[in-house]
Structure 1
């Protein structure tokens, strides 16, 4: 059983008006020549400004290959959609990390079967132990 099968899916997330404005401002700041789009390098700068890291070549390639081929770069609408998805993924990873940390009561960086059983007894007390064992052994949570 994977997280998606268990119902733990990334939720659609909407930016607040102030966050949306920030993204537009970053787009404009990175579009220095007012071309109306961001080049690959402009996009990398925007990600650094918004997320604090430089995208890898693979990430930049993926983004550039996903844009409309009839444009010279990433237009504002595409940029906003890309950034919204990145923010959703970031929030989802943080949520998963938070849940894992709550279950890792001994701060080991991994869960033992006993940790796993205890966690499930707290959040899903009626779940059969057999199911908990299957999930633990499959490693697909």
Structure 2
């Protein structure tokens, strides 16, 4: 529904030549003493340079544990792979944020049933209001007015968006649901 292509999978993203060159330059700048790899501290500095935040201990541990035991750090190709994956995640999250913001027309930081109704009317005008209500609430009876616009799995997914049944969907809930849908597809 929100992402291009069948199965709602995010697009595969490739770095531009200039971006790839920048990543290599950052690797070289952080590779103190030209060892040919990034130590744990070198890696943290490189992430700060590229993404603007210092990786947590857990993130750094995770990256260092994936390192070839025959080396003392992250080699260039491993680094480029890590950075590409981090960039894909960042772009995916930005796309989810963009979708949420499009739904949140009043900039409140949460979505209501009315927000969903308006969005569904724009995207799928033939979708019945009963289906939208069933999608939004957790109290559906299991039967639904399935639409050719939305597969059953999406209806089931959106039924779970409002986790606490308070009638509001925060960005965190929305992001969880969108990522849950990615894992299911």
Superimposed CA distance per residue, residues 22-72 of structure 1 (whole angstroms, 9 cap, x where no aligned partner): 000000000011111001110000000001111111111111122222221
CA root-mean-square deviation: 1.9
* d(CA) in 2 for partners of 1:57, 1:135: 39
Unaligned residue ranges in structure 1 (runs of 5+): none
Aligned to 2:14: 14
State the structure with bigger RCO (CA 8 A, min sep 6), 1 or 2: 1
Match of 1:28 in 2: 28
2:92 matched to 1:92? Answer: yes
Structure 2: gaps (5+ residues): 138-159, 162-176, 179-185
Q: CA deviation at 1:134?
A: 4.3
CA shift in 2, pair 1:117/1:77, >3 Å = same
User: Following TM superposition, by how much is the alpha carbon of 1:118 offset from its aligned partner in structure 2, in angstroms?
Assistant: 1.0
- Partners of 1:113 and 1:50 lie apart in 2 by 39
Q: Could you tell me whether the CA contact under 8 Å between 1:10 and 1:89 is conserved in 2? A: no
- Which residue does the alignment assign to 1:41? 41
Aligned residues: 137
Q: In terms of mean alpha carbon deviation, does 65-74 or 105-114 score higher?
A: 65-74
Q: TM-score, normalised by structure 2?
A: 0.68
Aligned ranges 1:1-141 → 2 under 5 Å? 7-137=7-137, 138-139=160-161, 140-141=177-178
- In the superposition, the TM-score normalised over structure 1's length comes to 0.88
State the partner residue of 2:140. none
Give SS of 1:125's match: coil
User: Shift of the alpha carbon at 1:74?
Assistant: 0.4
76-85 or 52-61, which deviates more: 52-61
